[in-house]
């Protein structure tokens, strides 16, 4: 079975959706021979890549939306003679594509358009609508996202299969020096693109409250590339009196991220909404305790291995941090629990379950061609 896997998002993004496409392709390639599956990477030429914000990236996204996805991708898939096409995120696919599996990462543009610019929210809703129109099966990256999708699109008539993700970070990276500006282990760590739902303002407020209770609290290291509708975090930190205790790193390499997780006292990830939450799994896999939100898919990822808080209450974050920093036995137990929890997730399992969706779709299509019914049949 030849499967075209679109990874064009990697041309202009390094965040969660790009990592999903990259890691899934790698895992499918590792399993391909044993599972009789040949993944074919479909993407934009390297010469067009533009991962940094700016005019070049905006032009690339426009080309991707109005030319590549609706006009070229289906032709590329047909020329590659694939049996089906896997969109690793919703895209405005044209009518010339083979049977298509679509991964829906989350429903944020539909449920929370206020967290985006008007154009981004409109684009996200449009892409989802057009992708579902072409989909013969849907994969979500958590049960919570599957539930959201069926709630938002109750008349969806194709199979929806939750397939949880994994993390290559602890396997693919070796030790690396901590980035410049991070002087010693034991710091607090925040990881994520700087955009509204990541809730960085609450992180700063919770941290400020912590420093008032524990004046010797370790510094806060903030990792993440510039996103959109970002508040002036520097001004917020200055107003809270903690600007000199915060280290902002921007984007870092996987090797640096591995080291940052490995030497952190805790990961703070009080996101308001996630389809999965890569940083949680990566941190737990590196033995880093995690504090996260009690909302969306995040409890599904951490299970009983993390501390859950209300993402709108900075006081809860401050208290959770104080508890963790003043009780070494608790921190040690959370490290052990996080490693055990992370071991339950793997990209190999993700790839196997994804291949099962491919086989279900191909089998249903063959039955349909033989007159035994339609492969656009049912919800789970």
pLDDT in tens, 323-360: 999 999 999 999 999 999 999 999 999 999 999 999 99
Backbone phi, psi, residue 70, to 5°? -80, -20
Give per-residue pLDDT as tens, 79-104.
999 999 999 999 999 888 899 999 99
Confidence of residue 372 (pLDDT cuts 50, 70, 90): very low
| Equal fold, 2-166+346-369 vs 170-342 | yes
Predicted pLDDT at 338: 96
pLDDT of residue 90: 94
Query: For every residue of 225-242, which 3-state class applies, written as one string?
Result: CECCCCCCHHHHHHHHCC
In tens, the pLDDT along 309-326 reads 999 999 999 999 999 999
Q: Which residue has the tokens 């990961």?
A: 267
Residue 140: strand pairing partners: 104, 162
* Mean pLDDT over the full length of the chain: 87
250 φ, ψ to 5°? 70, -150
pLDDT at position 227, please? Answer: 61
Q: For residue range 243-277, list pLDDT tens digits in order.
A: 999 998 888 888 888 899 999 999 999 999 999 98
Phi, psi at 340, each rounded to 5°:
-65, -40
Q: What is the mean pLDDT of residues 355-367?
A: 81
Nearest alpha-carbon partner for 163 in 345, 316, 379: 345
Looking at 33-37, 57-61, 68-72, 228-232, which range is the least confident one?
Answer: 228-232
Query: Percent of the chain, pLDDT > 70?
Result: 92
Whether residue 177 has pLDDT greater than 90: no
- Enumerate the domain spans of the chain: 2-166+346-369, 170-342
Note the pTM of the prediction, 2 decimals.
0.85
Q: Is the pLDDT of residue 370 over 80?
A: no
2-166+346-369 CATH fold = Rossmann fold (3.40.50)
At residue 298, φ and ψ (nearest 5 deg) are: -65, -40
The CA-to-CA distance between both ends of the chain, in Å, stands at 24
Tell me the two tokens of residue 107.
Answer: 């429903």
Bridge partners for 259 per DSSP: none
Domain 170-342 classified CATH 3.40.50.2000?
yes
Evaluate if residue 70 carries a pLDDT over 70: yes
């Amino acid at each position: 079975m030849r499967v075209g896997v679109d990874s064009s998002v990697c041309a202009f993004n390094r965040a969660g959706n790009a990592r999903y496409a990259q890691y899934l392709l790698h895992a499918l390639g590792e399993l391909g021979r044993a599972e009789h599956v040949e993944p074919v990477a479909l993407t934009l030429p390297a010469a067009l890549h533009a991962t940094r914000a700016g005019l070049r990236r905006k032009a690339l996204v426009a080309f991707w939306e109005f030319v590549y996805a609706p006009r070229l991708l289906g032709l590329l898939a047909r020329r590659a003679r694939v049996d089906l096409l896997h969109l690793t995120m919703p895209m405005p696919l044209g009518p010339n594509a083979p049977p298509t599996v679509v991964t829906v990462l989350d429903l944020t543009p539909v449920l929370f358009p206020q967290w985006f610019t008007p154009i981004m929210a409109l684009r996200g809703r449009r892409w989802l609508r057009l992708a579902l129109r072409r989909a013969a099966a849907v994969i979500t990256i958590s049960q919570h996202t599957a539930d959201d999708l069926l709630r938002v699109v109750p008349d969806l008539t194709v199979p929806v299969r939750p397939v949880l993700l994994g993390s290559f970070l602890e396997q693919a990276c070796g030790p690396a020096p901590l980035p410049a500006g991070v002087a010693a282990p034991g710091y607090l760590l925040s990881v994520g693109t700087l955009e509204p739902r990541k809730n960085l303002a609450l992180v700063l407020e919770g941290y400020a409250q912590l420093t008032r209770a524990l004046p010797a609290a370790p510094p806060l290291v903030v990792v993440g590339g510039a996103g959109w509708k970002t508040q002036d975090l520097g001004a917020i930190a200055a107003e809270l009196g903690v600007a000199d205790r915060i280290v902002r790193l921007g984007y870092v390499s996987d090797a640096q991220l591995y080291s940052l997780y490995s030497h952190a006292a805790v990961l703070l990830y009080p996101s308001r909404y996630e389809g999965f939450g890569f940083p949680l799994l990566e941190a737990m896999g590196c033995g880093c305790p995690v504090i996260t939100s009690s909302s969306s898919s995040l409890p599904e990822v951490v299970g009983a291995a993390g501390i859950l808080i209300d993402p709108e209450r900075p006081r809860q974050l401050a208290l959770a941090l104080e508890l963790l920093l003043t009780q070494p036995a608790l921190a040690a137990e959370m490290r052990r629990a996080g490693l055990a929890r992370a071991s339950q997730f793997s990209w190999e399992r993700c790839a196997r379950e994804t291949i099962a969706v491919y086989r279900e779709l191909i089998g249903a299509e063959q039955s349909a061609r033989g007159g035994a019914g339609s492969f656009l049949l049912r919800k789970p």
